[in-house]
Amino acid sequence: MQGLPSTERNPRSATIFGIHYYEWRSVREMSRKAAVRRSLTFSRLTTAAPIRNLPLRRNVLAYELAPLPYDYAALEPTIDEATMKLHHDKHHATYVTNLNGAIEKHPDLGKHSPEDLIKNLNNIPEDIRGVVRNSGGGHVNHTMFWAIMKPGGGGEPTGKIGEQIAKDFGSFEDFKKQFNETTAKQFGSGWGWLVFDGKLKIVTTPNQDNPISSGHYPILGNDVWEHAYYLKYNNRRPEYLAAWWNVVNWDEVNKRFEEASK
Ligand code: MN3
């Protein structure tokens, strides 16, 4: 087999026995239907039949849990692997499941983005409003949360958000101090947020409430539910808050700042 391109060397593309395989890893990211279609193509090309391992979905779900954009252990030592696994695969997954359960009662709502659902909570039928607020909020909040972190992140804020932080808070150090102090004081479960109102502001919300429900697109947010930090930091929320800046993805935060400034 010497000389054959290996999927290990280039996991996104390989040619073996003249058959071109590509994007193995993206199977997780595509729709179930597309995955089955691709799998059928593969099973015709190869003796292995991955189709057998793919359960067929009976109902089309309105909302899906995307895989983490990096490995569970990628944010170590700031956030430990076990916390990431539980947080994404159990907590976030449950919000998505419960949101889908609510939408089944009013399927027309399923065509809206989860952000749109929580933006206009008053338009949501009363029988599912609470679930949409909590689980829709949970879905939106955590989707943002995974994206605004990255392995090897942190450092000084870059780009426009860096300039705005310096303008509104004096320095990054002053901003962090204020954000950490404010968020540490959130009683019980909730989030600390950075929003823009012509000027950057730090706010907190209880539970899974998102500032988008009161007209503010969040630029960044940190999860201070105990499930986000308890395994590693125990009851030391301020220690978690201080360490969290080491994994912030400022490129993504800049994209969100642009959206918030519109
Ligand atoms: Mn959480």
Q: Is the pLDDT of residue 8 over 80?
A: no
Average pLDDT over residues 110-132: 97
Q: Is the pLDDT of residue 23 over 90?
A: no
Q: How many A from CA of 32 to the centre of ligand 1?
A: 26
Q: How many A from CA of 99 to the centre of ligand 1?
A: 15
Please write the tens of the pLDDT for every residue from 188-213: 999 999 999 999 999 999 999 999 99
Q: Where are the domains of the chain?
A: 13-53, 81-147, 159-260
The gap from C-alpha 42 to its chain's centroid, in whole angstroms, comes to 31
Structure confidence at residue 125 as a pLDDT band (50, 70, 90): very high
Which of 17-21, 72-76, 108-112, 129-133 is predicted least confidently? 17-21
pTM of the model: 0.78
Please write the tens of the pLDDT for every residue from 139-166: 999 999 999 999 999 999 999 999 999 9
Q: How many A from CA of 190 to the centre of ligand 1?
A: 9
Q: How many A from CA of 147 to the centre of ligand 1?
A: 13
CA gap 107, 89 in Å, rounded: 25
* pLDDT attached to residue 34: 55
> CATH code for 159-260?
3.55.40.20
Q: Which CATH number fits domain 81-147: 3.40.50.2300, 1.10.287.990, 3.20.20.10, 3.30.300.30?
A: 1.10.287.990
| Residue 43 contacts residue 51 (beta carbons within 8 Å) | yes
Average pLDDT over residues 229-242: 98
Please write the tens of the pLDDT for every residue from 29-72: 445 555 445 444 444 444 444 444 455 544 578 999 999 999 99
Q: How many A from CA of 153 to the centre of ligand 1?
A: 20
CA gap 144, 221 in Å, rounded: 8
* pLDDT attached to residue 63: 97
* pLDDT attached to residue 33: 55
* pLDDT attached to residue 135: 98
Q: How many A from CA of 47 to the centre of ligand 1?
A: 42
Q: How many A from CA of 181 to the centre of ligand 1?
A: 19
In terms of pLDDT, which residue wins out, 240 or 29? 240
* Angle at which helices 172-184 and 159-169 cross, to 10°: 80
Q: How many A from CA of 90 to the centre of ligand 1?
A: 10
Please write the tens of the pLDDT for every residue from 63-105: 999 999 999 999 999 999 999 999 999 999 999 999 999 999 9
Buried b (16+ CB within 10 A) or exposed e, 211-237: bbbeebbbbbbbbbbeebbebbbeeeb
Q: Is the pLDDT of residue 24 over 50?
A: no
* pLDDT attached to residue 60: 72
